[in-house]
Amino acid sequence: MTFNDLRRTLSEALSTGKIGTPVAIRMHVQLADSNVDPLMLLATAMQTVEQVFSARPARLMARENADGRQFNVLLNYAGGETVMLTVGRGSAKTASLNLLLIGNHGVIRLEGAELFEATAADFTADVDPWKSPIEQSLERNEAVALS
């Protein structure tokens, strides 16, 4: 499974309406390749999340581990929705992706995360909207408002 496959699968699952209105999503992505740009990885993950929540997040909080291999980003939306993303690179032997989408009537959980593979075609997301707020949050060690 690639990010493109994940987006397609999520879209199909959401179209059934079985989980109701999405309220939270948790995505954890680990790549074996330490050369992947972490901001590109975050932007690609956000591109996936954007199809779940059509509104733009209101607030972003970012954290980075000491060696720069893992980032955690918390996004809060004006309507109360939340997104928690963890992306890592170079610390795992194989790529993996875990996803949990919580709705007001059910959940969608990604099964078979060990079948995840990131391909060059996945990394086409626009990093620019996320670069500045992530850097600001990391520098200030606090949440930043998104306009």
> Residue 120: which pLDDT band, with cuts at 50, 70 and 90?
low
The answer to whether the pTM exceeds 0.75 is yes
For 94-104, what is each residue's pLDDT tens digit?
Answer: 888 899 999 99
The Cα 79–Cα 58 span in angstroms is 9
Q: How many CB atoms lie within 10 A of CB 55?
A: 10
pLDDT of residue 112: 63
pLDDT of residue 142: 96
Q: Are 88 and 94 in contact (CB under 8 A)?
A: no
Residue ranges and CATH numbers for the domains of the chain are 3-145 (3.30.360.10)
Choose among 137, 106, 109: nearest CA to 42.
137
Task: Give the range with max mean pLDDT: 31-35, 53-57, 67-71, 138-142.
Answer: 138-142
